[in-house]
A and B are shown apart, each in its own frame.
Chain A
Amino acid sequence: MSEIDNNQSGDTRRDFLKKTSLFTALSLTPLTVLKAADNKVDERFAELFEKIPLNLKVNNKAYSLKVEPRVTLLDLLREELDLTGTKKGCDHGQCGACTVHVDGARVNSCLSLAVMNEGKSVTTIEGLAKGEELHPMQAAFIKHDGFQCGYCTPGQIMSAVACVREGHANSKEEIREYMSGNICRCGAYPNIVDAIQEVKEKGTAI
């Protein structure tokens, strides 16, 4: 579990080593070691130093956190930072529901460990609008009804914004190809393509 910790007093690598040698010193006999492992004392002990510091920006807000290395960026956003707009659809990078921008590039946040994003800047669907004013892509999705249940929508929109910025929205065929990593089971695809094409053709910087 990660937690917000603003004084950055997390365990350092030196702390880790100190504790590890202490543990070794305490369990000299193989029997003790085995017994400790059997009772998962090692697990409980590991708990003391399993979180590592992480500094990143999400939607322009700086966070100093301590997280377990096995926490994905997706779970960090959803479970710890309460940014639930980013969706979990497969946890395998196969559906695109978890798409966010990391330093401007679209990324499946389920395939990125949170700790890999040290010093990076993440934008989620919550960071797209300017206050009450919707991002042009969000407005276009509403206008073209680019969704039904709405679950894949944040991922589609984040991907769509990147698709236009990348210069991959020059025709319907190109949009379809470059948006194929974002699955919509309700089947709003033609409407999504219309929304993206309209934003692209308006030519306003997004």
Chain B
Amino acid sequence: MDFFVDENDRVDGIEKVTGKAKYFAEFKLPGLTYGVLVPSTITKGKITAIDIKAAKNAPGVLDVLSHLNKPSAAGYEAGGGSPMKIFYTDEVFFNGQPVALVVADTFERATYAATLVKVSYEKAAFNTDFKKSIADASVAKKQGQPPYVRGVADAYKTAEVKVEQTYEMPVETHNPMELHGIIADWRTNDQVTVYAKTQGVKAAQATIANVFKIPQENIQVKSEFVGGGFGMALRTWPLEIATIMASKQVKRPVKLVITRDQMFTMVGNRPAAYQKIGLGATKDGKITGITHTAFGQTSTYENFTEGVVTMSKFMYASENVNTNYYVVPLDMSVPIWMRGPGEATGAFALESAIDEMAHALDMDPLEFRIKNDPETDPMKNIPFSSKNIKEAYKLGAEKIGWNNRKNKPGSITEGPWKIGYGVSIGVFNASRGRATVKGILNANGSLILQSATSDIGPGTGTGMVLIASRLMNIPVEKITFELGDSSLPPAPSQGGSTTLSTVGTAVNDVCVSLKATIAELAANANMSTTSNFVEVLKKNNLPMIEVTKQSQANQQGKEYSMYSFSIHFVQVKVHNLTGVVKVSKIVSVGDSGKIISPKTARSQMVGGAVGGIGMALTEEALLDNRYGKYVNNNFADYHVPVHADVPEIDVIFIDKPDYIVNPMGAKGMGEIALIGFAGAVANAVFNATGKRIRSLPITPDKVLEG
């Protein structure tokens, strides 16, 4: 198949640039009321009293919900347990936990009334200190993933050359630009419509059904436009359930939009991590042992694990690999996958260590990587479905001018700036799940495709329309892809770089089926099988034909290892006096199969690199462990990259189809766009200065220290 090379615009571009795109909080419902949350001011303990008299007396207030007036939710009657059941216990598990919800007829009145709610607590001792807890035997650790051993454990210790280092990641927050929340509107006593900000309308529907013990078909979840997610909208959060309860209680639609500071505590984060890497190699640069031990942060009330050590098992050809991953429960809100998830955390450590080893061997880090690049998956002992990273290394190196790099750190200066180059690799599973798509081919020449998937920004609709356009030979403007509504045919949540592969396969299957039907109808009407479908439908007197197809998960996982890869090249400038690091050039190479939508694909890679700049240089949610509170819970103090932090970004795609993964030959890209990037920056900073910074973010104080 030869897919489009045209630079198609995003299908929802006009809505997005004119302000017509409606995000969850923008649906105007008759009788709409406003919810405002009251967060706990202690970190751990019990609520002893909630005085709501003043709040209830305030103008416009309809109700104040808390555990003291438990709203009805049949699935919560048992209380306790995981996931956290909001308003069903007096327990406080973290600072900023929602303990009450005020509902009023205007946003201002609800906001004011929330300040009048008086909550009394009995405080308990708490622990939010991640770093201290790692060494503290009294803090119980949990196994996050089963230990893995291939060959001899800790083989690096006896290697000719070894590197043994620790790497640290702070808490990061997703903080999409759109604030989280929901509108809940009970149509009857057991039927509810919610306007949500979610990466999975079907998952949200199932969660709500489970809480209120009503049939899934009684719940409609609408979420057509989502103002960014990055993983934080992969679950239905307690505050959403609280709002749905409130709407039931006040018998009016309730809208909740949380505040930016609440985005730091109520909707997850990328957990802090502490990682030890041991690398062993022969003097001529063959890796002989990799040991990766990671500690990640989780909460006491719900557990969270992710793939921090996954990449170390198969990225490099080493006979001996052992990994272990533990989680440390703290009195903090539970984390959730953030773009690239644990793999991005792990890649920072592994790719830094690889660079350290190359330096120890006095080898070019690119050459060292190529030398240890495995031809087949060393973990599963099966071939990769496709892997073109040697080509990717070459193309990226040419583009960034890798030849200009000097192996000796601190060799290049430009006025007060030191210049350095770094490289790293990112990898993520290219899996495919089950999805259903309905296609309606109309005699007016249009095609409507429907599936309950989401588009949090990558351009899902655009990708699907392009797949269908190519297969059906129908112009893009005649095709509509409807998504973001739980009443559409089921699809999985948008996460883990799987949507294009999973839903795209179902679109492919629908199109193949529609074409077959048209050919059949043409034959029946004695028309040529290549006749235009409009003529065929008219001749058969059919206003439309409809097909629904469910595509299954990839069945070839036992025969092939399926991954997407990215190589990130960066040039940095480090200021002599201030220690400021500027990323001055970026080349990101994507080895993610055939590119379906070049324009949006490029944007996705660019966005990943920007997220990587934040991870590498600025982002750190700082906790004051004396109080268990974040001290920089706003955009002025928690620094996400802004325009001035981001240079021009070159994106190169290998653009070779992988038909083992799916019929389009395309692999996922959302995660690899970010995974590894921070490692490339850290490696470039070392190359510029000779200073190895193993703790993110790389802030000027760390650059200047010592």
Which A positions have Cβ atoms within 8 angstroms of B?
A: 1, 39-40, 43-44, 46-47, 68, 70-71, 75, 78-79, 82-92, 94-95, 97, 124-126, 128-129, 134, 138-139, 141-143, 145, 147-154, 157, 172, 175-177, 179-193
Given A142-B14, A154-B19, check contact A87 B227 (CB 8 Å).
yes
Residue B12 interfacial (CB < 8 Å): yes
Chain A residue numbers with a CB within 8 Å of B380 are none
A84 touches B177 (CB 8 A): no
A149 touches B610 (CB 8 A): no
Chain A residue numbers with a CB within 8 Å of B229 are 149
A92 touches B634 (CB 8 A): yes
Residue B491 interfacial (CB < 8 Å): no
A189 touches B610 (CB 8 A): yes
Residue in contact with A184 in the complex, picked from B21, B177, B600, CB distance below 8 Å? B177
Q: Would you list 8 pairs from A and B whose C-beta atoms are within 8 A, ordered by A residue?
A: A44-B57, A46-B59, A91-B260, A145-B603, A149-B456, A180-B643, A191-B603, A191-B606
Contact flags B216-240 to A (C-beta < 8 A → 1, else 0): 0000000001111110000000000
Residue B10 interfacial (CB < 8 Å): yes
Contact flags B582-613 to A (C-beta < 8 A → 1, else 0): 00000000000000000110111011111100
A151 touches B607 (CB 8 A): no
Chain B residue numbers with a CB within 8 Å of A188 are 603, 606-607
Chain B residue numbers with a CB within 8 Å of A129 are 18
Residue B80 interfacial (CB < 8 Å): no
CB distance from A45 to the nearest CB of B (A): 9
A142 touches B17 (CB 8 A): yes
A187 touches B608 (CB 8 A): yes
Cα A191 to Cα B607 in complex, Å, equals: 10
B9 touches A187 (CB 8 A): no
Cα A92 to Cα B179 in complex, Å, equals: 13
Residue B13 interfacial (CB < 8 Å): yes
Residue B636 interfacial (CB < 8 Å): yes
Binding-face segment, B105-113, B121-129, B137-145, B306-314: B105-113
* CB closest chain-B residue, reference A179: B643
* CB closest chain-A residue, reference B605: A187
Residue B458 interfacial (CB < 8 Å): yes
- How many pairs of residues, A versus B, come closer than 8 Å at their CB atoms? 199
- The listed residue with most A CB atoms (<10 A of its CB), out of B12, B18, B179, B259, is B18
Cα A12 to Cα B546 in complex, Å, equals: 63
A143 touches B9 (CB 8 A): yes
A84 touches B19 (CB 8 A): yes
Given A88-B179, A151-B177, check contact A126 B458 (CB 8 Å).
no
Cα A139 to Cα B9 in complex, Å, equals: 11
B635 touches A183 (CB 8 A): yes
Q: A139-B17, A141-B13, A176-B643 are in contact. List 4 more A-B contacts (CB 8 A).
A: A39-B57, A148-B600, A181-B642, A187-B606
A151 touches B227 (CB 8 A): yes
Chain A residue numbers with a CB within 8 Å of B23 are 84, 87, 151
Chain B residue numbers with a CB within 8 Å of A128 are 18
B19 touches A126 (CB 8 A): yes
CB distance from A154 to the nearest CB of B (A): 5
CB distance from A153 to the nearest CB of B (A): 5
Chain A residue numbers with a CB within 8 Å of B50 are none
Chain A residue numbers with a CB within 8 Å of B611 are 187
Residue B409 interfacial (CB < 8 Å): no
Chain B residue numbers with a CB within 8 Å of A141 are 13, 17
B9 touches A185 (CB 8 A): no
Given A94-B634, A187-B646, A189-B646, check contact A149 B640 (CB 8 Å).
no
